[in-house]
Structure 1
Amino acid sequence: MKNNYEFTPIEFREKILQDLEIRISDSIILVCAILIASIGLNMNSNAVVIGAMLISPVMTPILALGYGLSVLDSFVVRKSAKLLLLEVAVSIIVSSLYFMISPISYPSSEIISRTSPTIWDVIIAFAGGVAGIIGARKKQANNIVPGVAIATALMPPLCTIGYSISVLKWEYFLGSSYLFVINSAFIIIATVIGIRVMKFPVHYKVSTNKNRINLFLLVISILIMIPSIISASSLVQDSVRKYTINNFLKNEFKDYVILDQNYKNSQNKLVLTVSGKKINASKMNNLKESLSSYGLKKVTLEVIQIPELGNLKGEELSKYLDQYIQNKLDENTDKNIESKKEKNDSSKQINE
């Protein structure tokens, strides 16, 4: 009865080998997925990026690699590793070429979100790998593997690598590469564990020591997790600090209009632009001393005061608002100019 719903170990191996065959149709699908994902990242469209992940075939060799390592099948391991490396290379090359010719060079939020992986990405990849191998063994069509492809996001990090190469942003390159390594490695590890739990027989042609492979996977998983834990810790600290700053402003500046707030991480300084009654020296000292009660003991406070807007005359208010808006426009212009300059410098280096 079981065979009516799930592949037997022999059938599953045959299915894996069939999926690892390099076909022209699969190559075209891969290129299409790369272009769709690159455009989605470029245009900051989450829906388009999800569409690219649904049609991407990158998931197949990763699951196959985990299967091969679990049953000690060196033939499957070699074949899946070659296909994975080929798909990764094609993805990076095609996405790099796209971003080189794209007129939009600034990093969208979709791109930036793929450059700072955390421990949660490890958990998602591992859970996705477990679900993926269970879904892959079922004979009936199901939405498990496509769902895993969306959750683990294998294609967007590869396209982000292509973007970072095109604009020579090496911090983005390292972050997106690390995210792809996390996703791939923990899908493989979860697949190995899943196959072992399913009690697939070890391949008869191989006599490799299983304990040695287990130790290798354990060491690799620990080494990969360490940076993600550090990144997650930093993210949690930023979230806590943001919450405490908002709480501080809500309680201590409730009688003021906060026109602008800027936390300078490098200087550990909170800069506020407020409108309201003048803050005298005594009250400023009290505000600075109250920072410690909000868990912001090491944060320095700088307050830029402007006259209360209600007391300004029509011309003065109009002049102030015009100046404030112009300052914001100048900030955005400077950012755009800097982004264009980086793009031009990158293009010159590439041409050279």
Structure 2
Amino acid sequence: MPAVLARRGRFGRWWRMKVIGSVDHDAVLRQVAEEAGWSWRYGFMIVVSMALSLLGLLMPSVAVLIGAMLVSPLMMPIIGLGFGIAVLDVADIRKSLFALAVGAGLAVGLSALLVALSPIQTITSEIAGRTRPTLFDLLVAFFSALAGAYALIRGRGNTVVGVAIAIALMPPLCVVGFGIATANATVAGGALLLFLTNLVTIALTAAFMARLYGFGRHLTPRNTTFQVVLFAGAMLALSVPLVAALRQIAFEAVAQRQVRSAILSRFPDDARISQLEIDYRSSGVRVRAVMLTPRFDGGADRALGAQLAQRLGRRVDLHVDQIRSSLDPQATEAAQIAKAGSGIASARDRIVGQVALVTGATPDSLAVDDEARIVRATAAELPGLPAVGYRAVEARARAAAPGWTVEVVPPASDAPPPVIGFTAGIADVRAIDDAAWLSARQGRVLAVLGGVAAQREALAGAIVARGGQARVGDAAGGLRLGWVSDGQP
């Protein structure tokens, strides 16, 4: 024990003499005082950075967001706040907080105005990714502060350390403005929490680095005990969002382990989780999973939902897509790769929702074949629209579900088949296509009636060639189509 204390003492003396002694504390504090406050240049760069960040969020474009990071001026006020905390200089703290408050207010206000005037108000992936703090966001803020404080202390203030800090601050400010403009309290509140959490993390980390390099209260004897107490209270208040974020992050880490463990324990040992998505909401947890399993478990959703709700103490909305897999490990791996490549779960839900929206059907009524990527829907009745008119509805549904085959079944109707017109003795090809489509979708057989035998056979063959069902009927009257009922036309 004495040897350990001796080594610590030697290291402490070396640190004070060689490391702290090599720092020009007065020069660093002067630089902080000059650059951490408000200026018109600072305001101009806030506006430019805000505009670029907003464009990058709406497009969305990572390249544009990187451009916003390069010009963001938020580095020095945050570092100044951290150094003010380290030396307990209330004047510097006040000046840095003023610059941050005005800059943040300017960014939020202008971004809200631009979004309100913009025709693009869609929540993109970049916006959604900044609506709540995660462990990775905290790590970004932490390492950003380490880089910024070290560069300033060691005389490398011109290093572009504002890039990483801008990742943690400017885009969330723009998302706050987006949420205000679109009256979306969830988006605005989540982004504001992310901003405050990262701000406090950066400031406290910078303060730690400053104290580590010898910056302390002895360098600014102007403060009073009242100011120190007031400052401590303010820092405790600012730490509230950080504590809340850490609690949420801890819950999410526990929840993810619990969800994975519960799902795996429900299925056989050789089953695998191909994909797992967890959405943590304020009122509950939404779980979507894809399971490769040798046998199906019909009661898995209900049992797992109840089990996880009891474990997590929150309402759980759970659904597991079960895919039968071979016991052969190579076949299982191939199925997992194929399923992952198709972008299932959330992509499947989106496709089903789009088809239901276009056809007017409920999502639960759709028949979905995941392996063949086929969706079949019975369209809601549109008054006045003939049966073949639903072919256009099918075309719109297919456009809304790229990569999938969509089949739309017209609502039940006793309407007669399309009339086949003739021009110079040549049948209307579009009418034949419509008749074949209607026969295929309704699963009914067409009877080709009238005319001469050669015409009836040719028309029936054309319908069958297009995927419909047709048979040759009697020869009475002109050439026409009818429905076969109970085996007879």
> When the two structures are superposed, what TM-score results if normalisation uses the length of structure 1?
0.68
Could you report, residue by residue, the CA deviation over 1:5-28 in whole angstroms, capped at 9, with x for unpaired residues?
976121112211221454433322
Matched with 2:206 is 191
**Paired amino acid for 1:162:** G
Q: CA deviation at 1:214?
A: 8.4
Matched with 1:167 is 182
1:204 maps to 2:198: no
Higher share of residues assigned strand: 2
Using a 3 Å threshold, how does the CA distance of structure 1 residues 262 and 91 change in structure 2: closer, same or farther?
closer
Matched with 1:225 is 242
CA separation in 2, counterparts of 1:78 and 1:194?
20
User: How many pairs align?
Assistant: 306
RMSD: 4.7
**Any residues of structure 2 matched to 1:12-91 within 5 Å, and which?**
12-20=28-36, 22-91=38-107
CA separation in 1, counterparts of 2:170 and 2:285?
36
Matched with 2:355 is none
Q: Which has the larger radius of gyration?
A: 2
Could you report, residue by residue, the CA deviation over 1:282-335 in whole angstroms, capped at 9, with x for unpaired residues?
x765x549966xx8798876989xxxxxxxxxxxx9xx94636839949xxxxx
Q: CA deviation at 1:240?
A: 4.6
1:38 and 1:159 in contact (8 A); partners too: yes
Could you report, residue by residue, the CA deviation over 1:126-178 in whole angstroms, capped at 9, with x for unpaired residues?
3322332111223236546234324x521001100110010011111111111
Q: Secondary structure at the match of 2:119?
A: coil
Could you report, residue by residue, the CA deviation over 1:170-200 in whole angstroms, capped at 9, with x for unpaired residues?
1111111111111111111112222222112
Identity of matched residues, % = 23
1:38 and 1:95 in contact (8 A); partners too: yes
CA separation in 2, counterparts of 1:290 and 1:156?
39
Gaps of 5+ in 1: 274-278, 305-316, 331-352
Q: CA deviation at 1:272?
A: 10
**Paired amino acid for 1:73:** D
> When the two structures are superposed, what TM-score results if normalisation uses the length of structure 2?
0.51
Using a 3 Å threshold, how does the CA distance of structure 1 residues 21 and 6 change in structure 2: closer, same or farther?
farther
Matched with 2:192 is 177
Higher share of residues assigned helix: 1
**Any residues of structure 2 matched to 1:1-352 within 5 Å, and which?**
8-20=24-36, 22-140=38-156, 143=159, 145-150=161-166, 152-200=167-215, 201-208=218-225, 212=229, 216=233, 219-220=236-237, 223-236=240-253, 239-240=256-257, 288=300, 321=374, 323=376, 326=397, 329=400
**Paired amino acid for 2:179:** S
CA separation in 2, counterparts of 1:197 and 1:272?
46
CA separation in 2, counterparts of 1:182 and 1:142?
26
**Paired amino acid for 1:203:** T
CA separation in 2, counterparts of 1:198 and 1:264?
42
Matched with 2:449 is none
2:259 and 2:308 in contact (8 A); partners too: no
CA separation in 2, counterparts of 1:63 and 1:165?
28
1:7 and 1:138 in contact (8 A); partners too: yes
